[in-house]
Chain A
Amino acid sequence: MSVTYHLDHLQYLESEAIHVLREVAAEFERPCILFSGGKDSICLLRLAEKAFRPSPIPMPLLNIDTGHHFPELNEFRDRRARELGARLIVRTVEDAIARGIAVPTPGEISRNRLQIPTLLAAIEEFRFDACVGGARRDEEKARAKERFFSFRDSFGQWDPRNQRPEVWNLYNTRVNPGEHMRVFPLSNWTELDVWEYIRREKLEVPSIYFSHQRLCVRRQGQWMPVTDLLPPRPGEEVRELRVRVRTIGDIISTGMIESPADSVDDIIAEIAAARVTERGSRADDKSSEAAMEDRKKLGYF
């Protein structure tokens, strides 16, 4: 216990996030936590454990599976939910396509856009009035304007010009039937904070965050993992490299970075010295300057 009565940056962020999570539990009828197994949602889950202990986390976990997830990630997701005794709901883009809820554009390989209708259908199915996610404002410019409690209309749309003012720690959580709230307890966390918290809390993360051998091809200045979904094109050189992921999208749009970092300490040192942002390795954000803003307006996470 600190004798000087002051919180360091991680303790401050932790207290703030726990406050937000408890506000969700107290003010919503049917909230859920979006849990992908990625590093941000791992922190989110630990914060939820702390917010409600010794009670169990009083809301189910939801994951939208694109079918293009890294297998390591899904394995981790399922195991972590079992360990916590939490209810895990998985809805797949595959199934949404089969049911006509999500319609792929001809030739479109990425399932990123198709997560949106799949998520909105799940929200409708379970009548969720709040979805808690691990998004952070430092990830991307459009996220920088997001509130902790981000209102979505009955189409799941975000209206950046008409957001509720958010003052002090007083959150307006009220929604009408059919509307819902996206809640981001990690709003003020940076990538470095997330890893420092993983270190402080000794949290397990999926193995793909650590350095491993993998076959990759070079595309648009990035190392992409070779998989059945992303086979090498004729004439493309396949290299076996020591790589890891810095941020996880689905397997066809996540660039690998060459890295020898095989411990959390190494990763922290690497990020502290990094000269590229986390999302620099996400092909889906690069396509246009306003890519994230467009997806968010439509109801993306």
Chain B
Amino acid sequence: MITPPSIEILRFNTCGSVDDGKSTLIGRLLYDSKNLMEDQLDALERSADLTGGGQINLANVTDGLRAEREQGITIDVAYRYFATPRRRFIVADTPGHVQYTRNMVTGASTANLSIVLVDARQGVTEQTRRHSCIAALLGIPHIVFAVNKMDLVDWSEERFLQIRADIEAFLPKLDAFRDVKFIPISALHGDNVVDPSPHMPWYEGPTLLRHLETVHIASDWNLAALRFPVQWVNRPHRPTDPRLHDFRGFSGQLAGGIVRVGQPVLVLPSGWKTHVREIWTPAGIEPEAFCPQSITLVLEHDLDISRGDMIVGVDALPGMSQDVVARLCWMHPRPLTAGRKFLLKHTTQTVQAVVTGLEHRLDIASFEPQPCPAELQLNDIGEVRIHTARPLIYDGYASNRLTGSFILIEPGTNATVAAGMLRPPTEPARLEYTDFVI
């Protein structure tokens, strides 16, 4: 058998205002890259005859639920999948309406790249600034500003450069993206989406798809500091194989770094030090594993370790504290006020937590913090202080998206009410028993 070439997955999300043409763009990407099937085209043509006066509406590819067909807006996050010979793509189609910040946060939290759509006629709007701000807050490494509807501004280079300059004027304030790209497109007509535009010879950069296929994402994971939140303790009950009688493994997904057999590690919060004896990966027992693999570790010593503990490398320690500062995206109609108690889920640990203070509310259009708000409302983003019943073992979100993020759950309703991004710890974990070495 011929081994197929190794193909990576790129996850991206699209954001724009209601009429910026997000769904049309995704429809166009799927259509022109030949990822739409005949029965899907049939369905499109059926609905075109019914509602579109015979014109295929590419937006119908993604506007899945009946409720949103009726309203003509995307009400939730929808995921799409397509492939080219170079890459697989997971698309989070996130709505642009002002009240749906929470959906964009949801779709963007796992993205490598964000596409922010800008209507060439409107130029930079408050929505453009909001979407850029959220993408920056979520630490998305790559961003593309797709200036859409170029057909409606006569394919004008001048207009494109003007919009580009307007965006570049505010980007430094966000200070977040490693990689920014501007592409003039027409999603409706397909210019510079998959195929180069015959109408804009002045644009010499890649088409949108070409950029998605080639943008460098290998270094998007944090491979610097070993972080292994223990998810599940693996102890076979009544194993048939006698060698497994004493098996005790710790299963989880590596949230950062590389782990190697023989390497010294530290278990937090206890501070016990031991070595890695075995690494079980999905492909079998291996000498090393890396983020984001799901693995099982066997350690040299038989320690009492449970779900919620974290195994880390002996250098570059994470923070460990019951008092943290974080940015929150508030996602629930019931507003957040200081003093409210929640369950906080961080890595594999769920602890009781109280929001002790609201530091500021961020105006995501001006990027200015407004100090000491009385509350955070649905779709607000703000900075808060939190006290937890047990210490969190964490990193700043900017250095590790997996050990720097959490959700708040409202007791009783079990609703997920907030997505949180932790500020970096003021100091690394201090171990109570620094000389405690087995």
User: Are the C-beta atoms of A50 and B282 separated by less than 8 Å?
Assistant: yes
User: Which residues does chain B contribute within 8 Å of A188, judged by CB atoms?
Assistant: 79, 81, 90
User: Which residues does chain A contribute within 8 Å of B239, judged by CB atoms?
Assistant: 54-55
- Of the listed stretches A86-94, A125-133, A171-179, A205-213, name the one at the interface; the rest are far from the partner chain: A171-179
Residue A15 at the chain B interface, CB threshold 8 Å: yes
- Of the listed stretches A18-26, A32-40, A73-81, name the one at the interface; the rest are far from the partner chain: A18-26
User: Which residues does chain B contribute within 8 Å of A276, judged by CB atoms?
Assistant: 37-39
Residue B169 at the chain A interface, CB threshold 8 Å: no
Q: A150-194: which have CB < 8 Å to B?
A: 160-161, 163-170, 172, 174-176, 187-188, 190, 192-193
A125-145 contact mask (Cβ, 8 Å, vs B): 1 or 0: 000000000000110011011
User: Are the C-beta atoms of B401 and A265 separated by less than 8 Å?
Assistant: no
Residue B215 at the chain A interface, CB threshold 8 Å: no
User: Which residues does chain A contribute within 8 Å of B40, judged by CB atoms?
Assistant: 277
In the complex, which of the residues B80, B106, B414 contacts A167, with contact meaning CB atoms closer than 8 Å? B106
Residue B234 at the chain A interface, CB threshold 8 Å: yes
Q: Measured between C-beta atoms, what is the minimum distance from B345 to chain A in Å?
A: 5
Residue B181 at the chain A interface, CB threshold 8 Å: no
B231-248 contact mask (Cβ, 8 Å, vs A): 1 or 0: 110111101010010010
B55-69 contact mask (Cβ, 8 Å, vs A): 1 or 0: 000000010111100
In the complex where A6-B8, A163-B76 touch, is A22 in contact with B294 (Cβ < 8 A)?
A: yes
In chain B, what residue has the closest Cβ to A191? B81
In the complex where A22-B294, A50-B282, A52-B234 touch, is A6 in contact with B244 (Cβ < 8 A)?
A: no
User: Are the C-beta atoms of B419 and A15 separated by less than 8 Å?
Assistant: no
Question: Bound complex: CA of A18 vs CA of B283, how far in Å?
Answer: 12
A-B contact count (CB 8 A): 176
The size of the chain A interface, using a CB distance under 8 A, is 63
Most chain A C-beta atoms within 10 Å of own C-beta, residue among B1, B75, B294: B294
User: Which residues does chain A contribute within 8 Å of B109, judged by CB atoms?
Assistant: 167-168
Residue A4 at the chain B interface, CB threshold 8 Å: yes
Residue B88 at the chain A interface, CB threshold 8 Å: yes
User: Which residues does chain B contribute within 8 Å of A277, judged by CB atoms?
Assistant: 37, 39-40
User: Are the C-beta atoms of B407 and A167 separated by less than 8 Å?
Assistant: yes
Residue B366 at the chain A interface, CB threshold 8 Å: no
User: Are the C-beta atoms of A6 and B405 separated by less than 8 Å?
Assistant: no
Q: Measured between C-beta atoms, what is the minimum distance from B328 to chain A in Å?
A: 12
Q: Measured between C-beta atoms, what is the minimum distance from B89 to chain A in Å?
A: 10
User: Which residues does chain B contribute within 8 Å of A22, judged by CB atoms?
Assistant: 231-232, 251-252, 294
User: Are the C-beta atoms of B282 and A11 separated by less than 8 Å?
Assistant: yes
User: Which residues does chain A contribute within 8 Å of B249, judged by CB atoms?
Assistant: 54
User: Which residues does chain B contribute within 8 Å of A293, judged by CB atoms?
Assistant: 64-66
Question: Bound complex: CA of A163 vs CA of B282, how far in Å?
Answer: 31
User: Are the C-beta atoms of B294 and A170 separated by less than 8 Å?
Assistant: no
Residue A84 at the chain B interface, CB threshold 8 Å: no
In the complex, which of the residues B65, B258, B283 contacts A145, with contact meaning CB atoms closer than 8 Å? B65
Q: Measured between C-beta atoms, what is the minimum distance from A182 to chain B in Å?
A: 15
User: Which residues does chain A contribute within 8 Å of B244, judged by CB atoms?
Assistant: 54
User: Are the C-beta atoms of A275 and B38 separated by less than 8 Å?
Assistant: yes
User: Are the C-beta atoms of A55 and B235 separated by less than 8 Å?
Assistant: yes
Beyond the given pairs A5-B258, A15-B293, A280-B39, 11 more chain A to chain B contacts, judged by CB atoms under 8 angstroms and listed by A's residue number, are A8-B7, A19-B231, A54-B249, A56-B236, A144-B79, A165-B103, A169-B110, A174-B414, A188-B90, A190-B81, A275-B38
16 A-B contact pairs sorted by A residue (CB < 8 Å): A12-B292, A15-B282, A54-B239, A54-B244, A55-B237, A144-B79, A165-B102, A166-B416, A167-B405, A169-B253, A170-B406, A172-B345, A174-B414, A193-B88, A277-B37, A279-B39
